[in-house]
Amino acid sequence: MSYPKMTVNLETIKNNVRSVVGLCNSQGIKVAGVTKVFCGNPRIAKAYIEGGVSYLADSRIENLIRLKELDIPKIMLRLPMKSEAEKIVEYADISLNSELDTITSLSEKALEKGKIHKIILMVDLGDLREGYYDEKSLFNSIEKMIELKGVKIIGLGTNLTCYGGVIPTKEILNRLAKLEKQIEEKYNIELEILSGGNSSTVHLLPDNKIDRLNNLRLGESLVLGTESAYGEQIEGTKNDAFTLQVEIIEVKEKPSLPTGKIGRDAFGNIPTFIDRGVRRRILCAVGKQDVDFEALYPLDEGIIILGGSSDHLILDGSDSEVDYKVGDIIEFRMSYVGILRGMTSEYVEKEIIE
């Protein structure tokens, strides 16, 4: 067996998806399952589909290409680059957009392929990432977009929390619903999708009915069962679908303070240390090139993560009840970021359990 290794439990993922999709469906909301966290792995994406998602969604066209054989509508989440317009039209049924120039390129490529590419226009409601911030600019762009052939505006969307940390509220999302209604009346078009963000919006369900909201783009709530606004576990879900196993390569008693003058570490930072005396230090064969140490949570509560470097993870095992030896395996749960980094690293083995 090769380490470090991430183990993925498909049954747990399916159970999470069923629970979250059921919650959303009860409010008339369809779920787009975000696959970027596991790099568009088709086997894991199938668990999403079996759990009941209505779409698959990803930020990278390479991942959507991996999913091309799965018969379900696919959404390009990140605003498309003009240079990838042809691939977007070929492998995504829908894309999120906020730039007229890019939509024009999509229109041209769609016409070449004899397709109609669907567009969700993004509106920035204050988180300051993508989307139209000024309504006048949005309306001016729509007037030009509706004249384009090969593309069709099918909805509005927004993203919250990811950059600015803005928590979705009923009042904020009702602004999006009001804007959708204005656009439909002004331009005599029907917008079939109102996409109210990501897993941070789930905290509003089921107590807050958002007018017109009928789509959410969910990743964390499906793989971990948590809403991302406050980190609360969603009823009926589990947070252990993904686990990381790492192998111990050294166990030694050492002081907890380095000896000598302290300068910058391998990543350009000046480290600080807590003097705990002589401690049992455990060195593992995984590093910052593979995972985010702050996103790891040891299953053994007696272990303290001290830090590490690009290739090494350093643990304090003095308080553990386990007498760890070289060659033993230590397991971790991970946050969403931890799963993302581990699944992306080619140096981390992946084992998918049916």
| Least-confidence region, from 1-5, 194-198, 215-219 | 1-5
Check: CB of residue 324 under 8 Å from CB of residue 330: yes
Q: Which of the four pLDDT bands, split at 50, 70 and 90, describes residue 339?
A: very high
Q: Please state which CATH class domain 11-223 belongs to.
A: alpha beta
Q: Which amino acid is at 283?
A: L
> Annotated active-site positions, please?
36
Mean pLDDT on 158-162: 98
**CA-based torsion, 132, 20, 25, 173: positive or negative:** negative
What backbone phi and psi angles, to 5 degrees, belong to 13?
A: -60, -45
**pLDDT per residue as tens digits for the range 142-152:** 999 999 999 99
Q: Has residue 97 got a pLDDT over 80? A: yes
SS3 276: coil
So what's the pLDDT on residue 39?
98
Delimit the domains of the chain by residue range. Answer: 11-223, 242-353
Beta bridge partners of 352: 8
So what's the pLDDT on residue 282?
98
**pLDDT per residue as tens digits for the range 189-204:** 999 999 999 999 999 9
C-alpha to C-alpha distances, 113 to 116, 151, 158, nearest whole angstrom: 9, 12, 29
**pLDDT per residue as tens digits for the range 223-273:** 999 999 999 999 999 999 999 999 999 999 999 999 999 899 888 988 888
So what's the pLDDT on residue 177?
97
So what's the pLDDT on residue 312?
98
What are the residues whose beta carbons fall under 8 Å from the beta carbon of 345, sequence distance 6 or more? 289, 290, 291
What is the overall mean pLDDT for the chain? 97
So what's the pLDDT on residue 146?
97
So what's the pLDDT on residue 209?
78
